[in-house]
Amino acid sequence: MASHRYACGVDAESIDRYRPGGYHPTRLGDQLKSGRYKILHKVGWGGYSTTWAARDHEHQRYVAVKISVAEANKNHETSILRLISSSPSHTHGGKEHIVQLLDSFCIEGPNGKHQCLVLELLGPNIPELIDSYLRDERLPAQAARSIAHQVLMGVDFLAQLSIGHGDIHARNIALTLPRLDSLNEQEFIDTLGQPELGRVQRTDGSAPEIHVPSYIVRPAPFKAKQVLQSLRAPVIKIIDFGESFLPNQAPATLHTPLVVRAPEVLFDDPIDRRVDLWSLGCLLFELFTGQPPFDSIMQTPAGLISQMIQFSTDELPDRWEAKWQTMQEKRVQYADDDPPYTLQKWLEEVYFDTQRRCELTKRDIDKIGELVGLLLRWEPARRSSAKDIANDPWFR
């Protein structure tokens, strides 16, 4: 089914993914699992799922229902989340910063059989939070410090279970919104924002096929008041375990966004959970500055590695030299008259932007640069652990 046959005025998931093996055509008001879960709004979407806000009538609470594409691996993410949920909460404070699995089931639809994960309902992720609610285009300093520490604790908790998340980046860090369960359905929808629907139409004027929904829902914007109140003492959760793995299940590669992808992935080395430490270093930089350390516009693997070399405090491993030379030979070179930056110099330039409010001192930025540098090491074995970074006195 070609995407040009359909049009919709709402910018959300791709309509051409509504096909056999693809997304389930979910509608507002749908009742899932014999009426237990009532769909009220959309809260997000990705390449392999759509996620919906729903009322759990059995437990009188609001939840997120993540409906995977029919062709997705139905057991992988569920098994990881069940392992996390089965771990005692009192043994590690980081568990409270991992989204919790509440239920799982399957549904049948015109596009096949879909795995549904019922998760805690969360608010906006970090980029959504910044883009929609913050004028400075970055987090307030105290919120950034608190969120950074919580993410570090969460990743350390996963490390204790030998779980690699595999996809640590700002869009997979979401803010919690307390007191939602006390609202009735209309108050709840008002808090999320009234659903905006875009009618799906075939460009040839024919009726839509059964595989395609009659409308697309724009994800909930969330009311600013609720979000900004939560940001005063933020509590976050790490979400999306679609790329996660255990030691005996490490994938050959990962699909982490290129700009935060660990070098061992770029060089096709064996992968283990220490890829999360590199991504953590990139995330810490972004939480405080509002942008990742490496360029994200028109980036290529070779261009990214060139920047990594510029910012690194250690040497490129010998085993990667030959591959790097080959990549350089194929790379299009551009003239660049700007002087080279160190990681610390770049961090200072990005943070001390005269058009933004600067709440942190030069000493704070020096410390952040030091911590980021301990994570952005070529060799996974030389990266500091999340626990060591979280225990640094600067976070107290």
Task: Please give the positions annotated as active site.
Answer: 167
Listed in sequence order, the residues at least 6 apart from 75 whose beta carbon sits closer than 8 Å to its beta carbon are: none
Q: Which long-range contacts (CB under 8 A, 24 or more apart) does 78-84 make?
A: 78/104, 78/115, 78/117, 80/163, 80/241, 80/244, 80/245, 80/246, 81/117, 81/119, 81/241, 83/161, 83/163, 84/158, 84/161, 84/163, 84/241
Pairwise CA distance, residues 44 & 153, whole Å: 25
Pairwise CA distance, residues 254 & 242, whole Å: 10
Amino acid at 211: H
For tokens 């929904």, name the residue. 213
Pairwise CA distance, residues 374 & 174, whole Å: 25
- Is 66 a known ligand-binding residue? yes
Task: Specify the DSSP class assigned to residue 98.
Answer: B
CA atoms within 13 A on the CB side of 319: 9
Contact 109, 24 (CB under 8 A): yes
Q: How many other β-carbons are positioned within 10 Å of the β-carbon of residue 6?
A: 20
Binding-site residues from annotation:
66
Binding-site residues from annotation for ATP:
66
